[in-house]
Amino acid sequence: MEASIYTKEEVMAKFAAGGQCAQCTLVPWADALGYDEDELMRMAAAFAGGMFRGDTCGAVVGALMALGLAYGDDPALTAEKTAAFHAAFLDRFGATECRTLLGFDFSKPGELEKARESGKMLTDCASFVRGASEILQELLADA
């Protein structure tokens, strides 16, 4: 299975247009997975910024949604692919929680605004999306 994953610059452009991390990780797989892009955009909308609380990174969630759509009929394979994704993302970035990755806790008042002002949500999050997408591409190669 193959998709045209976004470059870091394309992710940044999507963010500037109102897109977010889970969407930018999941949506490039729409055709390959047999889903409508708008459908996947809506499905992933609630997962930005660690579900808007700094919890699990939206890029991680978007990738796991794609794995579920690809392998969800086989629980053992889904678990295997999920564990492989998690290990690879941790190896690459050191954490899977948004608040740890960015250094801002969105569950606290004013932290989201501080993160936006810092520019890290644009640049760092684009790197997380790109990294998650590259890992996902490897894991979906045999789907």
41-87 residue pLDDT tens: 999 999 988 998 889 999 999 999 999 999 999 999 999 999 999 99
Phi, psi of 56 (to 5 degrees): -55, 130
Residue 2 lies in a domain: no
Residues 6+ apart with CB under 8 A from 34: none
Q: How many domains does the chain have?
A: 1
pLDDT of residue 103: 93
pLDDT of residue 29: 95
User: For residue 47, which of 140, 135, 136, 128 has the smallest C-alpha distance?
Assistant: 128
Residue 3 lies in a domain: no
Indicate the pTM of the whole model.
0.93
Domain containing residue 13: 8-139
Residue 27 lies in a domain: yes
143 band by pLDDT with thresholds 50, 70 and 90? confident
89 band by pLDDT with thresholds 50, 70 and 90? very high
Residue 32 lies in a domain: yes
Q: Please state, rounded to an integer, the average pLDDT across all residues of the chain.
A: 93
Per-residue three-class SS string for 46-109:
HHHHHHHHHCECHHHHHHHHHHHHHHCCCHHHHHHHHHHHHHHHHHHHCCCEHHHHHCCCCCCC
Residue 64 lies in a domain: yes
Residue 93 lies in a domain: yes
Compute the average pLDDT of residues 124-141: 95
Compute the average pLDDT of residues 26-48: 95
Compute the average pLDDT of residues 117-121: 90
> Rounded to whole angstroms, how far apart are CA atoms 135 and 92?
10
